[in-house]
Amino acid sequence: MVETNLNNIDSKIISILKNDSRKPFVEIATLIGMSESAVRRRVKNLQESGVITKFTVEMGPSNKTSAITLISVSSIADTSAVSSQLLKLAGVETVYEITGQYDIATVISAPTILEINSYIDEIRKIDGVSDTNTVIILRTLGNSK
């Protein structure tokens, strides 16, 4: 059963762990003025009560380039079949079937723009692809939560 009424000390511990879930208990203890064993016991109790359900890793920015490629599918081709082929290509992370001027949008990632270009060349070879328009992603804002 999850206890929602946290005391001030538990709230401080959780705040510290949210910022750095790998922070050693001895450092947390120093920050809040408690013993290491008291902090360890509190964290264990928070886990057992369901207040803390897991510790996780958040990845930092990578050294990859990403692009969005908009794809037109010819009127005689099956959009779903083209989408299935796209999912099999290297570098294609996500495929969206969309409305508007284009039929499909893909997110492509690679270490270099040169590799992005080679992936786009492969996309253009798929039967039913009649046109592409690619934009390189310069910066990502916000979070993906």
- The 8 Å CB, 24+ separation contacts for 81-84 are 81/128, 82/126, 82/127, 82/128, 82/129
Q: What is the pLDDT at residue 1?
A: 41
Residue 58 is assigned to a structural domain of this protein: no
Asked whether residue 69 falls in the same domain as residue 43, the answer is no
Asked whether residue 79 falls in the same domain as residue 121, the answer is yes
pLDDT at 20 over 50: yes
pLDDT at 3 over 50: no
HSE at residue 46, side-chain half, CA atoms within 13 A, is 23
Residue 89 is assigned to a structural domain of this protein: yes
pTM check: above 0.75: no
Q: What is the pLDDT at residue 60?
A: 62
Number of domains in the chain: 2
Asked whether residue 71 falls in the same domain as residue 105, the answer is yes
Q: Cα–Cα distances in Å, from 49 out to 6, 19, 107, 118?
A: 11, 21, 41, 52
Q: What 3-state DSSP class applies to 104? A: strand
- Sequence-distant (≥ 6) Cβ neighbours of residue 82 within 8 angstroms: 71, 73, 103, 104, 126, 127, 128, 129
Domain boundaries, position 86: 65-137
Residue 82 DSSP symbol? H
Q: What is the pLDDT at residue 29?
A: 93
Q: For tokens 């390189």, name the residue.
A: 136
Residue 115 is assigned to a structural domain of this protein: yes
Q: What is the pLDDT of residues 58-100, one digit of tens each?
A: 666 667 889 999 999 999 999 999 999 999 999 999 999 999 9
Asked whether residue 39 falls in the same domain as residue 96, the answer is no
Asked whether residue 35 falls in the same domain as residue 89, the answer is no
**What distance in Å separates the CA atoms of residue 102 and residue 104, rounded to the nearest whole number?**
6
Looking at residue 27, which CATH number applies to its domain?
A: 1.10.10.10
CB 137 within 8 A of CB 69: no
